[in-house]
Amino acid sequence: MIEYFQEVGSAFAAICKGLWLTLKYLWYPAITVQYPTEKLVPYERFRGALLFDADTCIACNLCVKACPSSCMLLENATVPDPKNPEVKKKTAKIDWYSIDFGKCNFCKLCEESCPTKPKSVWHSLDYEVLFAKRDEMVRGWQKSFEFIGRYFDRKEKKWKAPEGQMQIQTVQARR
């Protein structure tokens, strides 16, 4: 009989201990983030979506060579040779650049191989990149395109800005 009351007493003590802990944390401020309306900014070393700046790129092709997935393509801009106008010479600027996010494994080798300061290709802090169609997974950049890039719609035969894309920060921090 004594063992029964000891067991009831220890269970009651355990319940009181748990309730005391709950009561103590009841007055602490809430740390919950109301997700669709509030978003957390990830840590600095987070590898989000790749962004590209066509103005700082020197078309060295190091990022394309460093990519183990072969998800990047780049074409140098050309100008006519002054001596022979029929021959085109490559310049240190790009004509277009594309990344296939369906193949990318976010390894950061492209960013590490980029020699420009600031980097012309870098990982953003965006963790919500939307793709409604396969065409949207292949993002392309030219001189006038914004950092997030555009996709080529094969049905309409034109470049389109991705819809519903919400960036965490408007200008991403480059390393």
Measured CA to CA, the distance from residue 83 to residue 159 in angstroms comes to 35
pTM for the model: 0.68
The pLDDT-based confidence of 164 (bands split at 50, 70, 90) is low
Residue 110 contacts residue 68 (beta carbons within 8 Å): no
What's the CATH fold of domain 50-160?
Alpha-Beta Plaits (3.30.70)
How many residues belong to the chain? 175
Measured CA to CA, the distance from residue 81 to residue 102 in angstroms comes to 38
pLDDT tens, residue by residue, 23-69 = 988 888 888 888 777 777 788 788 888 888 888 889 899 999 999 99
pLDDT tens, residue by residue, 58-105 = 989 999 999 999 999 888 888 887 788 777 888 888 888 888 988 999
Residue that wins the pLDDT comparison between 35 and 116: 116
Q: How many CA atoms lie within 13 A of 37 on its CB side?
A: 2
Q: Which of 122, 123, 127, 124 is nearest to 40 (CA)?
A: 127
